[in-house]
Amino acid sequence: MAEVYLAQKLGDEGFAKWVAIKAILPHLANEERFIKMFLAEARIAARIDHPNVCSVTDFGQRDGTYYLAMEFLHGQPLAGVIRRARNFKGIPVKLTARIIAEAARGLHAAHEVRRDDGTLAEVVHRDVSPQNIFILYSGSTKVVDFGIARSNEAIAERTATGMLKGKVAYMAPEQIRGVALDRRVDVFALGIILWELLTGRRLFKRENDVGSGFAVLEAPIVAPSTVRPGMPVVFDHIVLRALARDRNQRYPHALDLARDLEAALANNGVVAGIEEVGELMAELFAGEIEERQEQLRMFANTPIEDTPLLAMPAVDVTTDPSAELSRAATKIPVPMGQSDLRPAPIVAPPTSSQQFFTERQPTQHENQAATDRRRGSLALLLLVPFVSIACAVIAVVLLLPYLRTIIERRVVEVQVREVRVYADAGISVTDARRVVIAHTVPVTAPTPPQPPTVTPPRPPAHPTFVRNGFLTLMATPQADVFEGSRRLGRTPLTDFQLRPGQHALRMVAGNGLPPQTVNIEIRPGGTTIRRIRWESNE
């Protein structure tokens, strides 16, 4: 609903400070609903004073256009960082924890905004997503865009019935159901971003908003370590608590989420501050940093009357922002390994930031060498099947005489055993050998009576190991699940182990709904997924 310009705030004695001017779009300047949203953003943002929130320095109207003057952020949105990181090793787990912790602290500051009488304004961002978390090149994290934030002061700005505000794939269940919202909505959204950064996958994103909404309400939420083996299990507990669909089981404050993430790093002796995030940004955006600095120098030295209006190209508002992470998360993030769990050694800092940038930029020769290595690897992969076949043929030729000797020895051993049996029965060795070799010559010699055969008892069979199966069961509404008198739990059940075979499960939802019995077959080692919608017996 707005466009952002780069500007300078000028003062006496050559004072100049870069700011960003957010102006409502001209074709929306006369629409009352957008103006009220813009004014609500100005009122909320002006009350927040925290290093992890983009600050607002001025608000006004000029020639019928409302505008906000905001802190100029020299960096990239988190969505852009994810997109760039796919060409590197992804965002390391320890830096993911630092970024989300900083964003959580900024959101907590917004949640704690108070009115003039000292009571909470009950601010809720409602649109926490990778597009609205900004990472500065220095490593700091900022929460931006309170354009659809809600507070109990914004009486004039209410969401119409049936209208959702925000990105569905980052909404909390209560936000989709349309019930009363509180700060825990933003905690759930941060939990989604944390899960996606840790696993490199989208959690609730589907083909359309309807599918994403159903996924938010009912799709299984698995621990990150099951998707990304080797992930420290401490993050499983943090993520699953932030993503509790029952908000009473969720973190009550974003600050609690931040403290748990920071404790997980500190307890493992991991160093992950804003300086380390800044090093990652320098590695990912070295070219952009220098280019932006050059632009700022050029604009600062240009007379005002000759400076063209320039919209900042940081975010493309014409694209679907919800699809950015799915396009960017093609590279699985680096897990926290043993090297991350040891205290970082103290090393001398680089002599200059420019040297750090230069050392990390591949040269043209290195790029060509990498291309040659990829071509050589492809050629080697194409040769592997032919080499394997040739080795197999050589092995057969070399082993054939040995195999023939083993087969002949085996035949002789069988013949000797059969000769011994016939000899015991009173047949001459010559006749027995003839029987063994000819196979079709009948034996006419009388056979003496054989003693009764005593069958030795068979040893007890070893117990056969049967693999259990897994059941994922969802129900609308939620229900308690029983098998006989045993209570399995309450839906949604995720990867619940059951023995293979048929199971009759009784589901009790309460609220006057009759119990239902569902027959489910569990396959050994397989996963059965069932989704039950309640049906009345009337």
Residues serving a catalytic function are: 127
Residue 476: partners with Cβ closer than 8 Å, 6 or more residues away: 218, 531, 532, 533, 534
Secondary structure (DSSP) of 334-360 = PP--HHHHSPPPP-PPPS-HHHHHHHT
Residue 344: partners with Cβ closer than 8 Å, 6 or more residues away: 270, 271
Find the Cα–Cα–Cα–Cα dihedral 178, 181, 183, 189, rounded to 10°: 0
Using the structure block, give the residue that is written with the tokens 């003496």.
448
Give how far the C-alpha of residue 211 lies from the chain's centroid of Cα atoms, to the nearest Å. Answer: 18
Token representation of residue 538: 């009337």
- Cα–Cα distance measured from residue 105 to residue 120, given in angstroms and rounded to the nearest whole number: 17
Q: In 3D, which of 147, 164, 193 has the Cα closest to residue 324?
A: 193
Q: Is 24 left (phi over 0), alpha (psi -120 to 50) or beta?
A: beta
Distances 101 to 15, 105, 211, 222 between C-alpha atoms, Å? 35, 6, 30, 21
Q: In 3D, which of 165, 160, 133, 162 has the Cα closest to residue 149?
A: 165
Residue 252: partners with Cβ closer than 8 Å, 6 or more residues away: 184
- Cα–Cα distance measured from residue 523 to residue 38, given in angstroms and rounded to the nearest whole number: 56
- Other residues' Cβ atoms within 10 Å of the Cβ of residue 75: 24
Using the structure block, give the residue that is written with the tokens 């970024």.
99
Instruction: Give me the half-sphere count of Cα atoms (radius 13 Å) on the Cβ side of residue 57.
Output: 12
244 near 223, Cβ under 8 Å? no
Structural element, H or E, at residue 26: none
What phi and psi values does residue 71 have, to the nearest 5 degrees? -55, 135
- Local structure of residue 502 (DSSP, 8 states): E
Instruction: Give me the half-sphere count of Cα atoms (radius 13 Å) on the Cβ side of residue 220.
Output: 18
- Cα–Cα distance measured from residue 510 to residue 65, given in angstroms and rounded to the nearest whole number: 56
58 near 68, Cβ under 8 Å? yes
- Cα–Cα distance measured from residue 47 to residue 123, given in angstroms and rounded to the nearest whole number: 11
Token representation of residue 370: 């990498």
Alpha helices in 58-111 (DSSP H): 78-85, 93-111
